[in-house]
Amino acid sequence: MSRKSTPARQAVVTVAAWTVGFLIFFPILWIFILSFKTEGDAIRTPLGVLTSGWTFESYHEVQERSNYLLHFWNSVVLSVGSTILALVIAIPAAWAMAFVPGKRTKDLLMWMLSTKMMPAVGVLVPMYLLFRDFGLLDTRIGLVVVLTLINLPIVIWMLYTYFKEIPGEILEAARMDGANLRSEILYILTPMAVPGIASTLLLNIILAWNEAFWTLQLTTSNAAPLTQFIASYSSPEGLFYAKLSAASTMAIAPILILGWFSQKQLVRGLTFGAVK
């Protein structure tokens, strides 16, 4: 049975889609609006918030009180560094699992994913002690390693799925043509998997950028990324809504812009292989 696309149905679907989209986006929009209010206006009723005056005051204060650029730079180093490190490990790993699977490959994949099912706080104490003993607390290198490790299962899974789509005969042809393992991965597999690798890279940067458990637990100032920057404005009493919103806006803006420009690539990568 084919579904008819009547104007009425289209209208309903359109309205429903926009509603869902708006509901998802609303918190971000509200943060954005609050960031342009004074602290006094920010805690008024929603209507009061919307009708009150607009100001850059919160941004000025946030800028004066903390070093945005340091946090921004830390976020860039942590997300890009951990993503590149994860790809360097994951590409050969996914190659092996996709093209020379063993009896236990499926179990291995499942096991890797299962580490993501555990609450991170479960290993907080041992991790903290390890960091303390190795002198890694509040260092970028330590955080890069942790972010790599926590995202590695997802990166391997994604790459594994993309690599599975590449016909094995092409890699065999490369082997017949005299390519060694390094050339095979470098000249054939990686260029062919570029769309998949690119979306994995983007998604991982976003995940690492937004990661707020380990970054908050293991950093204080030197290696603190933007998540720490936001957190420093949250207070249990909730007195600094406007400044918190300004800090949040400044923290999520870069990744939102990156996501906006790469959305085509992301959508393509995430639905890769779904339709042949």
Partner 1 sequence: MGQISLSAVTKSFGDVNVIPPLDLQINDGEFVVFVGPSGCGKSTLLRLIAGLEDISSGKILIDGKDATDAAPAERGLAMVFQSYALYPHMSVRKNIAFPLKMAKLSQAEQDRKVENAARILNLSNYLDRRPGQLSGGQRQRVAIGRAIVREPAAFLFDEPLSNLDAALRVTMRQEISELHQTLKTTMVYVTHDQVEAMTMADKIVVLNAGRIEQVGSPLELYRSPRNLFVAGFIGSPKMNFITGAEAKKHNCDTLGVRPEHVEVQADGPWTGVVGLAEHLGSDTFLKVNVPGVGDLTVRVSGEMNLHHGDQVTLGPQSGKLYRFDANGMAL
Among candidates 121, 67, 75, which has minimal Cα distance to 227? 75
Among 145, 179, 258, 270, binds partner 1 (CB under 8 A): 179
174 contacts partner 1 (rule: CB under 8 A): yes
Tell me which stretch binds partner 1 (CB under 8 A): 119-127, 132-140, 162-170, 199-207: 162-170
Which amino acid belongs to residue 73? Answer: W
- Is position 187 an interface residue for partner 1 (rule: CB under 8 A)? yes
In 1-139, which ranges are continuous DSSP H helix? Answer: 7-34, 39-42, 46-51, 57-65, 68-99, 105-114, 124-133
Q: Looking at the chain, how many residues does it have?
A: 276
Q: What is the CA radius of gyration of the chain?
A: 23
Cβ nearer to partner 1, comparing 38 with 105? 105
Q: Which residue, 78, 79, 154, 146, is CA-closest to 114?
A: 154
- CB-wise, 31 or 192, nearer to partner 1? 192
Q: Is 34 in the site for partner 1 (CB under 8 A)?
A: no
Q: Provide φ and ψ at 237, rounded to 5°.
A: -80, -15
**190/217 with CB nearer partner 1:** 190
Q: Name the DSSP letter for residue 211.
A: -
Among 155, 188, 206, 230, binds partner 1 (CB under 8 A): 188
Tokens linked to 148: 């790599």
Distance (Å, rounded) from C-alpha 79 to C-alpha 100? Answer: 30
Percentages of the chain per state (helix, strand, coil), in multiples of 5: 75, 0, 25
173 binds partner 1 (CB under 8 A): yes
Contact set for partner 1, span 113-132 (CB under 8 A): none
Angle at 88 between CA 79 and CA 176, to 5 degrees: 150
If binding is defined by CB under 8 A, does position 182 make contact with partner 1? no
- Which residues within the stretch 191-220 sit at the binding site for partner 1 (CB under 8 A)? 191-192, 194
Q: Does 237 bind partner 1 (CB under 8 A)?
A: no
Residue 167 engages partner 1 in binding (rule: CB under 8 A):
yes
Measured from the CB of residue 200, what is the shortest distance to partner 1 in angstroms? 18
The window from 60-68, 182-190, 197-205, 248-256 that contacts partner 1 (CB under 8 A) reads 182-190
**Element containing residue 194 per DSSP (H, E):** helix 194-210
| Given 14, 102, 177, 273, the residue binding partner 1 (CB under 8 A) | 177
**CB of residue 196 vs partner 1: minimum separation in angstroms?**
13
* Binding residues with partner 1: total (CB under 8 A): 18
- Report the interface residues with partner 1, using CB under 8 A: 167, 169-170, 172-180, 183, 187-188, 191-192, 194
